[in-house]
C-alpha cells in the first residue's frame, strides 16, 4: 500500500513527482484522470493532478423555477454539491483503496485547502490523511515539505466553503429577484454578485461624476523663445480680461532676460516584477483586452514560454535565477538588447511591495526566435520578456533644467529635460518619458520671444476607467482575485452592462447600478467583501463556526429580501424609468420630446417617446449609432454617425430615404432594365450593388468590402454599367462597377 498525493494542477503534480522520485516517473490514466507514479525510500507514490475545484454548488431541482415566492426558501436551502468532472468519483474511490496514506498537496491557500477537503470528502476519507505545505515548487522546498507533513486544516477549508455558500446565496437570490421583478428572464437576465456588483457601481459612479462635471474655463499665457514654449508663472489665469491685460503688458514680441537656470536630477524608477494585475494593466496599455491577454498568457504558460500567469507576487524568489534567464534570452530575438543590458546593468532585480511565496512574478521561461510567435501572442511574450529585462536594468536618471525668463515684470518658465542614463527605458515597450530640448541659455542672455498668446482651456472631468485601471482599482478594493478579476470585467460586458475601452456604462448598466445603490446598498459596495474576509479569518482561526457565519449572512439577506419584495413595484418602475432616460439620444424635431433608440426583432429604429409619437426612422442594422447636433443639408433633419469596426465613421441623415444618403448610394441606371443600381447589404452584412427592381431584376455586382464607392454620372462604353470611383485609403481608381467588365480586366 502506497501514498496518494493530491495536486491542484498538472504542473505541480509533475514537479512533485520529479523532485521526490529516486528513479523513473511513469504516467498513467485512472479513469479519465492523469496520475504519475514513482518510488521513494522503497515506497510507492501516486500523484493525482486535479484541475482546480472539483465540486460546484447549486440549488436543488425544486428551485429551478425563478420566482419571488420561493426566494426565502431558496436561501434557507442547502446547496447540492455536484462533481464537476465526470468519472472523477470513480477514480478517487479506486485510488483510495490502493493507498494507505493520502497526502493533500494542493496550493497552500484557502481555496487550495478546500479543494483538498472536497477530494477527501468525495473519497469518504478522514484517516491516514496528511498535508504537504510548500510555497515554492523547487526540489528543496518540496523535499522539505514532504519530510515535514502537517495536518489538513479543516477550519481553513470551512472558511472557503462559507465563502462559496454565501456567494451563491446572495448571487442567486438577488439575480432572481431583480430579473423576475423587471421581467428580464431567459437570456436577458440581469446578474448580481458580491464582486461584479460593486465593480459595476464603481463604473456607474464614475459615469455620474463625468456627467455632472461642469467644465470651468481658464486661461494660459504662453510665449515661444528659441523654439520652446515658456509658460507664465501665474498660470492658470481665471478670467479672459486678466489674461488680456497681462498679454498687453507683455507685448507681441521683443526681448526677454534669462533670470535663472537651475539643474535638478531625478530618477524614474524601473518597474516592479509582473504580478497578474501589473501584467494585465500594461497588456491593456498596448491594446490587448484583459480577457484576451489572460487567455494568451495561459497558452504561453501551457507551452512553457512564460511562468505561471496567476500571481500576486512582485518579488522574484531566490530560486528564480536572473543569470540563467538572461543567459537564455541572449540566444533569442532579444540578443542585442540583452548584450546592451548585461554591459550596462548590475542585474539586481527590482522589488514590489507585495511578496507572496506561492508563485514567482511572471517571467519568460524559454527564449524565442522572432518567427515562433505571431500577432498578439508575440506582443504578450515580448511584453513579459521586456518587463523582465526592465526589472533587472538600472533606474533612469533624468536631468531637468529649469529656465526662468522675465519681461516687463512677468516671469515665464520652461523645463528642458534629458536622460543622463536611459536604463530600463531602453528595453520596455511602453513610453513613460520624453526628452525636452534645451535652448541652452545662460543667465543674463537676452533672447527674442514671439508668438505670445492666450490659450483658452477647460478643466476636465475625471477619466473613464480602462480595463487595466479597473483591474487595478479592483485589486485596491480587494474585489476578486488575480484569477477572476478579468473574468468579472468580461461578465459585465457579456451582460450588456458596459461597452468599449475606456469603459462606458450602457443604459442597462446604469439602470441596474442605480437600482442597486438605491435598494441594495449592501451588495453595491466593496464592504461586503471586506466583511466576508474578516469572517473567513475568524472561521480559519476557529473563533467562529462556518454555520454561524452563513446563518448570520442568511439573516441579513432575508431582511434585505423582505424590504426588496415590499418595494418591488417601485423598483421595477424606477428601473425602466432609468433605462428609458438612459436611452435618450436627442430631442424630437417635431414635438421636442425625448428621442430614443429601440430594437425589435432584427430591426433598429429611432423614435419619439413623447405622447404624440410622431417621429420614427429605421436605423442601419450594423454599427454603433451616435446622434449628432449637425443638421442635414438636404432635408433639415439631423445627421447620425455610424461607427463600424474597421471602417471610417459614416455620417448619414437620420431619414434613410433622404437624398443625402441615397445620392451616395445610387450609382446610375441598370443596363438590364433601367432600374437604379444601389448599394445594399446582404444578410451577413457584406456590401454589394443590386438593382432597385429586385426581385424582378436580379442584377448584382460584388464590390471590394474595403473600398469607399463614390458615384459618377459616367457610363462605361464597353458594357453600359455606371462608372464609380473606388477609394482604397489614399489610392483611388475610376472604373466600371461591373467586376467582369473587359474594360477592367485590362488593368492590373
For the annotated catalytic residues, the residue numbers are 308
Residue (of 395, 417, 598) closest to 507 by Cα position: 598
CB of 188: closest distance to DNA in angstroms? 8
Which residues touch 540 (CB under 8 Å, ≥6 apart)?
110, 153, 155, 156, 158, 159
Reduced to 3 states (helix: H, G, I; strand: E, B; else coil), residue 572 is helix
Nearer to DNA by C-beta: 438 or 472?
Answer: 472
CB of 566: closest distance to DNA in angstroms? 21
Nearer to DNA by C-beta: 4 or 190?
Answer: 190
Nearer to DNA by C-beta: 162 or 223?
Answer: 162
Is there a contact between 108 and 154 (Cβ–Cβ < 8 Å)? no
Helix axes 88-98, 110-123, angle to 10 degrees: 80
Nearer to DNA by C-beta: 114 or 152?
Answer: 114
Nearer to DNA by C-beta: 193 or 507?
Answer: 193
Long-range contacts of 720-728 (CB under 8 A, 24+ apart): 720/671, 721/668, 721/671, 721/677, 722/667, 722/668, 722/669, 722/677, 724/667, 728/704
Cα distance between residue 694 and residue 700, in whole Å: 9
CB of 192: closest distance to DNA in angstroms? 6
CB of 171: closest distance to DNA in angstroms? 2
CB of 427: closest distance to DNA in angstroms? 29
CB atoms within 10 A of CB 428: 19
Nearer to DNA by C-beta: 46 or 661?
Answer: 46
Cα distance between residue 144 and residue 658, in whole Å: 79
Cα-trace Rg, the chain:
33
CB of 402: closest distance to DNA in angstroms? 48
Enter the C-alpha cell of residue 108.
Answer: 497552500
CB of 200: closest distance to DNA in angstroms? 9
DSSP line for 87-143 = THHHHHHHHHHHEEEEEEES-SSHHHHHHHHHHHHHHT--SSEEE---SS-SHHHHH
Nearer to DNA by C-beta: 171 or 271?
Answer: 171
CB of 28: closest distance to DNA in angstroms? 17
Q: Is 35 exposed, middle or buried (0-12, 13-18, 19+ CB in 10 A)?
A: buried
DSSP line for 290-313 = HHHHHHHHHHHHHTTSB--S----
Q: Is 77 exposed, middle or buried (0-12, 13-18, 19+ CB in 10 A)?
A: middle
Nearer to DNA by C-beta: 482 or 652?
Answer: 482
The upper half-sphere exposure of residue 210, i.e. CA atoms within 13 Å in the direction of its Cβ, equals: 13
3-state secondary structure 531-554: HHHHHHHHHHHCCCCHHHHHHHHH
Nearer to DNA by C-beta: 56 or 577?
Answer: 56
CB of 52: closest distance to DNA in angstroms? 3
Which residues touch 738 (CB under 8 Å, ≥6 apart)?
701, 716, 719, 721, 744
Cα distance between residue 727 and residue 712, in whole Å: 13
Nearer to DNA by C-beta: 571 or 736?
Answer: 571
Cα distance between residue 573 and residue 277, in whole Å: 39
Q: In what order do the strands lie in the sheet with 650-653?
A: 624-631, 638-643, 650-653
CB of 58: closest distance to DNA in angstroms? 5
Nearer to DNA by C-beta: 175 or 350?
Answer: 175
Residue (of 700, 701, 697, 695) closest to 674 by Cα position: 697
Cα distance between residue 393 and residue 570, in whole Å: 60
Residue (of 16, 21, 72) closest to 554 by Cα position: 72
Interface residues with DNA (CB under 7 A) are 8-11, 49, 51-54, 56-59, 63-66, 84, 107, 109, 111, 115, 163-164, 167-168, 170-172, 175-176, 179, 185-186, 189, 191-197, 298, 302, 310, 480-484, 487-488, 491
Residue (of 297, 264, 272) closest to 283 by Cα position: 297
Cα distance between residue 37 and residue 252, in whole Å: 86
Is there a contact between 313 and 356 (Cβ–Cβ < 8 Å)? yes
Long-range contacts of 742-747 (CB under 8 A, 24+ apart): 742/718, 743/716, 743/717, 743/718, 743/719
CB of 279: closest distance to DNA in angstroms? 15
Amino acid at each position: 500500500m502506497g501514498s496518494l498525493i493530491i495536486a491542484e494542477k498538472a504542473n505541480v503534480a509533475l514537479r512533485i513527482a520529479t523532485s521526490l522520485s529516486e528513479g523513473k516517473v511513469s504516467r498513467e490514466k485512472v479513469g479519465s484522470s492523469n496520475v504519475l507514479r514513482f518510488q521513494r525510500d522503497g515506497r510507492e507514490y501516486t500523484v493525482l493532478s486535479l484541475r482546480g475545484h472539483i465540486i460546484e454548488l447549486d440549488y436543488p431541482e425544486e428551485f429551478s423555477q425563478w420566482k419571488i415566492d420561493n426566494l426565502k426558501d431558496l436561501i434557507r436551502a442547502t446547496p447540492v454539491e455536484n462533481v464537476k468532472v465526470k468519472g472523477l468519483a470513480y477514480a478517487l474511490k479506486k485510488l483510495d483503496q490502493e493507498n494507505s496514506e493520502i497526502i493533500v498537496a494542493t496550493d497552500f491557500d484557502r481555496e487550495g485547502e478546500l479543494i483538498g477537503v472536497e477530494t477527501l470528502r468525495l473519497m469518504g476519507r478522514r484517516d491516514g490523511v496528511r498535508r504537504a505545505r510548500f510555497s515554492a515548487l523547487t526540489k528543496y522546498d518540496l523535499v522539505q515539505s514532504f519530510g515535514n507533513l502537517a495536518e489538513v486544516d479543516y477550519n481553513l477549508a470551512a472558511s472557503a466553503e462559507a465563502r462559496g455558500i454565501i456567494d451563491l446565496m446572495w448571487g442567486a437570490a438577488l439575480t432572481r429577484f431583480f430579473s423576475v421583478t423587471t421581467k428580464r428572464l431567459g437570456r436577458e437576465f440581469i446578474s448580481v454578485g458580491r464582486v461584479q456588483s460593486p465593480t459595476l457601481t464603481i463604473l456607474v459612479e464614475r459615469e455620474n461624476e463625468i456627467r455632472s462635471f461642469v467644465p470651468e474655463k481658464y486661461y494660459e499665457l504662453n510665449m515661444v523663445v528659441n523654439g520652446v514654449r515658456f509658460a507664465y508663472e501665474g498660470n492658470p489665469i481665471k478670467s479672459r480680461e486678466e489674461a488680456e491685460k497681462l498679454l498687453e503688458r507683455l507685448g507681441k514680441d521683443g526681448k526677454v532676460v534669462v533670470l535663472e537656470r537651475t539643474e535638478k536630477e531625478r530618477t524614474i524608477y524601473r518597474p516592479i516584477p509582473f504580478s497578474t494585475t501589473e501584467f494585465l494593466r500594461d497588456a491593456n496599455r498596448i491594446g490587448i483586452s484583459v480577457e484576451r491577454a489572460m487567455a494568451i498568457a495561459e497558452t504561453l504558460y501551457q507551452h512553457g514560454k512564460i511562468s505561471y500567469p496567476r500571481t500576486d507576487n512582485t518579488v522574484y524568489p531566490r530560486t528564480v535565477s536572473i543569470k540563467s534567464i538572461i543567459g537564455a534570452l541572449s540566444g533569442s530575438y532579444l540578443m542585442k538588447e540583452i548584450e546592451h543590458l548585461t554591459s550596462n546593468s548590475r542585474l539586481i532585480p527590482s522589488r514590489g511591495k507585495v511578496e507572496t511565496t506561492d508563485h514567482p512574478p511572471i517571467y519568460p521561461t524559454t527564449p524565442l526566435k522572432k518567427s515562433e510567435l505571431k500577432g498578439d501572442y508575440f506582443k504578450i511574450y515580448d511584453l513579459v520578456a521586456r518587463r523582465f529585462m526592465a526589472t533587472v536594468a538600472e533606474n533612469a536618471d533624468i536631468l531637468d533644467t529649469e529656465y526662468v525668463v522675465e519681461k516687463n515684470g512677468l516671469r515665464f518658465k520652461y523645463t528642458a529635460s534629458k536622460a543622463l542614463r536611459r536604463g530600463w527605458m531602453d528595453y520596455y515597450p511602453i513610453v513613460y518619458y520624453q526628452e525636452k530640448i534645451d535652448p541652452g541659455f545662460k543667465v543674463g542672455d537676452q533672447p527674442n520671444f514671439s508668438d505670445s498668446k492666450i490659450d483658452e482651456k477647460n478643466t476636465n472631468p475625471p477619466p473613464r476607467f480602462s480595463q487595466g485601471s479597473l483591474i487595478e482599482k479592483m485589486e485596491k478594493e480587494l474585489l476578486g482575485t488575480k484569477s477572476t478579476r478579468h473574468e468579472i470585467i468580461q461578465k459585465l460586458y457579456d451582460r450588456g452592462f458596459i461597452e468599449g475601452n475606456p469603459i462606458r456604462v450602457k443604459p442597462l448598466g446604469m439602470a441596474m447600478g442605480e437600482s442597486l445603490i438605491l435598494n441594495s446598498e449592501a451588495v453595491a459596495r466593496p464592504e461586503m467583501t471586506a466583511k466576508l474576509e474578516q469572517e473567513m479569518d475568524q472561521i480559519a482561526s476557529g473563533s467562529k463556526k462556518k454555520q454561524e457565519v452563513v446563518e448570520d449572512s442568511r439573516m441579513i439577506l432575508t431582511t434585505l429580501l423582505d424590504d426588496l419584495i415590499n418595494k418591488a413595484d417601485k423598483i421595477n418602475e424606477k428601473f425602466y424609468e432609468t433605462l428609458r432616460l438612459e436611452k435618450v439620444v436627442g430631442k424630437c424635431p417635431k414635438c421636442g420630446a425625448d428621442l430614443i433608440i429601440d430594437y425589435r426583432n432584427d430591426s433598429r429604429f429611432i423614435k419619439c417617446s413623447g405622447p404624440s409619437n410622431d417621429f420614427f426612422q429605421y436605423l442601419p442594422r450594423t454599427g454603433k449609432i451616435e446622434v449628432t447636433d449637425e443638421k442635414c443639408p438636404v432635408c433639415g433633419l439631423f445627421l447620425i454617425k455610424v461607427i463600424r469596426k474597421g471602417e471610417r465613421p459614416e455620417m448619414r441623415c437620420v431619414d434613410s430615404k433622404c437624398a443625402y444618403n441615397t445620392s451616395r448610394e445610387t450609382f446610375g441606371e441598370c443596363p438590364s432594365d433601367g432600374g437604379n443600381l444601389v448599394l445594399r447589404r446582404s444578410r451577413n452584412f457584406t456590401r454589394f450593388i443590386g438593382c432597385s427592381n429586385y426581385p424582378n431584376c436580379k442584377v448584382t455586382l460584388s464590390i471590394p468590402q474595403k473600398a469607399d464607392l463614390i458615384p459618377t454620372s459616367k457610363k462605361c462604353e464597353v458594357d453600359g454599367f455606371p462608372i464609380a470611383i473606388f477609394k482604397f485609403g489614399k489610392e483611388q481608381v475610376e472604373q466600371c462597377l461591373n467586376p467582369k467588365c473587359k474594360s477592367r480586366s485590362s488593368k492590373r
